[in-house]
């Protein structure tokens, strides 16, 4: 559902074909989403069947034929509804990657610390990567800012946890 919102929003700004959409998302939104190519194509097909999109064949040079999608009035209506719902609602995030924290005491304290420091390294690297990304136009930046804020909070928390465990040791 959010993936449909994502595609509709991009198509609202500009007509695009599947490959192009996927590429844009991969280049600019990796930190926030991970939409695979077959999924993208599939969603575009489904939305076309629903009358939200209108594809038209296009050619650029000798390149393979493209299907360029344009958003229809029905698509715009769907976008508006999805957007309003999405902005108004808080969808709880489950950090399945953190389940292990519940069993930290099953690890010898020094090892737990070593592993957490590993985690710290990769987290810090990702935050650095995201901070280096040049700013985007319009609201897209909010999404990236949010991700950065989240990673920052995650890092803070990890540091507190590590300090705490160090003190106990």
Partner DNA sequence: TTTTCCATGTAACTCGTTACATGATTTC
Partner DNA sequence: GAAATCATGTAACGAGTTACATGGAAAA
Report the interface residues with DNA, using CB under 7 A. 3, 17-20, 23, 34-39, 41-45, 60-68
Q: Which is nearer to DNA, 36 or 117 (CB)?
A: 36
- From candidates 27, 49, 62, 95, binder to a second copy by CB under 8 A: 95
CB 65 within 8 A of CB 19: no
If one asks whether residue 133 binds a second copy (CB under 8 A), the answer comes out as no
Q: Does 73 bind a second copy (CB under 8 A)?
A: no
Q: What torsion, rounded to 10 degrees, do the Cα atoms 131, 40, 69, 63 define? A: 90
Radius of gyration of the chain (CA): 21
Smallest gap, in angstroms, from Cβ of residue 121 to a second copy?
Answer: 9
Strand order in the sheet with 16-17: 16-17, 66-71, 53-58
Residue 25 interacting partner from a second copy, DNA, none (CB closer than 5 to 8 Å by kind): none
94 binds, among a second copy, DNA, none (CB under 5 to 8 A by kind): a second copy
The one of a second copy, DNA, none whose footprint includes residue 5, by CB under 5 to 8 A per kind, is: a second copy
> Which residue of 49, 62, 106, 132 would you call a contact of a second copy, by CB under 8 A?
106
User: Interacting stretch for a second copy, rule CB under 8 A, among 42-50, 55-63, 65-73, 102-110?
Assistant: 102-110
State the first-to-last Cα distance of the chain, in angstroms, to the nearest integer: 47
DSSP string, 108-144: -HHHHHHHHHHHHHHHHHHHHHHHHSPP-STTHHHHH
């Amino acid at each position: 559902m959010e993936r449909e919102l994502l595609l509709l929003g991009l198509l609202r700004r500009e007509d695009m074909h599947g490959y192009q959409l996927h590429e844009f998302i991969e280049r600019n939104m990796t930190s926030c989403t991970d939409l695979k190519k077959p999924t993208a194509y599939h969603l575009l097909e489904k939305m076309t069947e629903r009358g939200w999109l209108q594809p038209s064949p296009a050619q650029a040079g000798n390149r393979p034929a493209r299907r360029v999608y344009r958003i229809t009035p029905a698509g715009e209506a769907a976008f508006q509804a999805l957007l309003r719902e999405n902005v108004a609602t808080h969808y709880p995030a489950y950090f399945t990657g953190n389940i292990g924290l519940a069993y930290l005491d099953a690890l010898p304290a020094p090892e737990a610390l070593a592993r957490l420091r590993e985690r710290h390294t990769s987290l810090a690297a990702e935050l650095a990567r995201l901070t280096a990304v040049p700013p985007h136009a319009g609201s897209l930046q909010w999404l990236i800012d949010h991700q950065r804020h989240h990673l920052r909070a995650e890092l803070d928390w990890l540091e507190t946890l590590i300090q705490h465990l160090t003190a106990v040791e």
